[in-house]
Amino acid sequence: MLVSCVLSIFFGTVSAFYQKKIKRLLGYSTIGHTGFILLGLLAATMESSTAVIIYVGIYAFLTLLTFSLLIFAASSKSNNAKFLAN
């Protein structure tokens, strides 16, 4: 399990470096974050379980916020293009 965690972190991080699209970068980043979450679960202590719950909560909130900003930026860009065309 430890090898799987380390490989997940390594693969997610290295693969994210070479991405040109932000959504794909976030996808590979998720692979890396999964490794960190698994490391916390692998420790199997009460403190690590609490840390994993907090980590997942913060990560979920920030991921939703990031995708919301991407959607807003994309819709804003298309609305500006329509405005300029008229």
Tokens representing 43?
């420790």
- Containing structural domain, residue 40: 2-85
- For the segment 3-25, what is each residue's pLDDT rounded down to a tens digit? 999 999 999 889 888 888 877 88
CA dihedral 63, 2, 43, 50 (to 10 degrees): 10
Please tell me the distance from the alpha carbon of residue 44 to that of residue 49, in angstroms, as a whole number. 7
pLDDT value of position 29: 86
Please tell me the distance from the alpha carbon of residue 63 to that of residue 71, in angstroms, as a whole number. 12
Tokens representing 86?
């008229």
Higher-scoring residue by pLDDT: 76, 73: 73
- For the segment 25-66, what is each residue's pLDDT rounded down to a tens digit? 888 888 888 998 999 899 888 998 999 999 999 999 998 998
pLDDT value of position 22: 79
pLDDT value of position 71: 83
Q: How many domains are there within the chain?
A: 1
Please tell me the distance from the alpha carbon of residue 33 to that of residue 40, in angstroms, as a whole number. 11
pLDDT value of position 57: 95
